[in-house]
Amino acid sequence: MKIQHIFFDLDNTLWDHRKNAYLTIKTLFEAQEITLKYNIDFEEFHAVYHDINEKLWEDIRDGLIGKEYLREHRFYDTFKHFGIENKELSIYFEEHFLDKILNHNELVEGAEYILEYLKSKHYTLHIISNGFKEVTERKCILSGIAHYFHTITSADSVGVRKPNPEIFEYSLGLANAQKEESILIGDDWIADVVGSQNFGIDVIFFDVYKENRQDEGLKSITHLLQIKEYL
């Protein structure tokens, strides 16, 4: 059966979360004069934050923690790494991070072009995101891409996250799509690739970090425009 429905992951597949988060944290870091007060280099701070945040998101994906734990710990644990145990400061960063990140809406290179291309080919486009429901739709709207999507599914709407098959089942049901006519495009190996394969739909791995995973027959790209090679 010919592909009719394309499901996109959002963060770091279309919406450049890495860049937008970096810009947001830098703004907060400078506003609080962290270098002056604590003699911490921003690039070093951000590198530690990135590693902690990535691990916490993996734990959320795997069902080990909830989003409240992540919100309580990602900045607190980062500051703690530098010997600063200041709950008030970490809460300030967390609250303002979630609010201010939507001031930055950089898209991954080629995102708008490829969405326009796929729309012109009459594919029906959708989002399946592991992100928080309260920000997923706003990211799409504020970055100017919401109109491309027929449905937007965030994990909080279902109560589970990719790679859990329930979120794929929910999203396909919402889209009125069949597995055989659907494909997912995403950057997370476990959530997107393994999740799609276990659920039984085709997948294109957006290999942002050029991991060069060896998986026979896997469709893989390192730039969004390469989607045109498959669709």
As a whole number, the mean pLDDT across the chain is: 95
- Identify the H or E element spanning 66: none
- Of the candidates 9, 6, 5, the one whose C-alpha atom is nearest the C-alpha of residue 154 is 9
Long-range contacts of 113-117 (CB under 8 A, 24+ apart): 113/224, 113/225, 114/224, 114/225, 114/227, 114/228, 115/14, 115/145, 115/148, 116/148, 117/227, 117/228
Q: How many CB atoms neighbour CB 214 within 10 A?
A: 6
Fold of the domain spanning 17-103: DNA polymerase; domain 1 (1.10.150)
Q: Report the pLDDT averaged over residues 19-27.
A: 97
Q: Kindly state the average pLDDT of the residues 186-193.
A: 96
Digit-coded pLDDT (tens) for 138-169:
999 999 999 999 999 999 889 999 999 999 99
Q: What is the pLDDT of residue 6?
A: 98
Instruction: Name all contacts of 220-228 with Cβ < 8 Å and 24+ positions apart.
Output: 223/109, 223/110, 224/14, 224/108, 224/109, 224/110, 224/111, 224/113, 224/114, 225/110, 225/113, 225/114, 227/114, 227/117, 227/118, 227/185, 228/114, 228/117
CATH number at 5-15+107-229:
3.40.50.1000
Domain boundaries, the chain: 5-15+107-229, 17-103
Cis peptide before 163 (omega within 30 of 0): yes
pLDDT in tens, 48-85: 999 999 999 999 988 899 989 999 999 999 999 999 99
Contact yes or no for 142/14 (Cβ under 8 A): no
Examine the pLDDT at 129 and tell me if it is beyond 90. yes
Check residue 214 and give its pLDDT.
Answer: 72
CA distance 124 to 180: 14
- pLDDT score at 134: 80
